[in-house]
């Protein structure tokens, strides 16, 4: 049991670092705010839905992914496609990481 807890802490740390690093990679000054369009958002939304569908098929959807897509939809309806695209991309990353987590922990169990 103690060995499993150590692995769980290590995996949680890696997942947190991945999320933080991906957030840092996408933050900063973006000179292409004019490039945020409805078409760009729609493409990001399609990619996010594919990723989350794959995670759902593995029974490993993260809690906030759906909430992010709802917020993205609200932002898109207001015409804020930059925020909407950012949220859709975050949901996609969560779907990708959830799928990776499901594969990593597929054989997990008591030893």
Mean pLDDT, residues 39-43: 96
- 52-90 pLDDT tens trace: 999 999 998 999 999 999 999 999 999 999 999 999 999
Residue of 26, 28, 30 whose CA lies nearest to 88: 26
Q: Taking the complete model, does pTM exceed 0.75, yes or no?
A: no
In this structure, what is the dihedral angle of CA atoms 80, 85, 88, 90, given to the nearest 10 degrees? -110
Q: For position 20, what pLDDT does the model report?
A: 55
- 11-29 pLDDT tens trace: 565 665 565 556 555 544 4
């Amino acid at each position: 049991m103690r060995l499993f807890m150590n692995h769980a802490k290590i995996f949680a740390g890696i997942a947190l670092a991945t999320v933080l690093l991906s957030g840092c990679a996408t933050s900063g000054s973006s000179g292409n705010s004019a490039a945020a369009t409805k078409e760009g958002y729609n493409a990001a939304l399609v990619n996010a839905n594919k990723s989350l569908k794959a995670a759902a098929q593995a029974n490993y959807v993260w809690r906030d992914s759906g909430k992010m897509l709802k917020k993205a939809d609200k932002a898109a309806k207001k015409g804020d496609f930059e925020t909407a695209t950012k949220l859709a991309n975050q949901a996609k990353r969560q779907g990708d990481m959830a799928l990776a987590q499901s594969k990593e922990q597929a054989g997990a169990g008591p030893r």
